[in-house]
Structure 1
Amino acid sequence: MPLIGWIFILLAAGMVIGSLLLLRDSANRMPIDKERMKRIKARQAELEAQEKQRENK
């Protein structure tokens, strides 16, 4: 394979690895405020109560 082919392969591999590292670093940067977390937990409790009611029927 000519030299230009190896350069393209190395560039492509570098871009893939760089993108994966960037994705990993930014994966946990989504803070949820307290009000939204409270609504999420309330909704989850409501759904669990509905599931229990369906199981008991």
Structure 2
Amino acid sequence: LEQRGIEFDEVRVPYLKRNRPEVEELTRQRWVPVLVDGEEVISDSKRICEYLDRTKVG
């Protein structure tokens, strides 16, 4: 996101997966990274990059 010049808010979550209920609430899992863009919630770094390639300029 920084390389593309896209503004974002970073939310840090605990290292241990069991301590990530806020991530599970969004994605039904506790894995990171997660990108939230409006109503879109995308997990997995590859899927996030593909989403950015399709939707964002930069």
Q: Same fold (TM over 0.5)?
A: no
TM-score range, shorter chain: under 0.3
TM-score (norm. length: structure 1):
0.23
* Structure exhibiting the larger radius of gyration computed from Cα positions: 1
More strand by share: 2
Structure with more relative contact order (C-alpha pairs < 8 Å, separation 6 or more): 2
TM-score (norm. length: structure 2):
0.23
More helix by share: 1
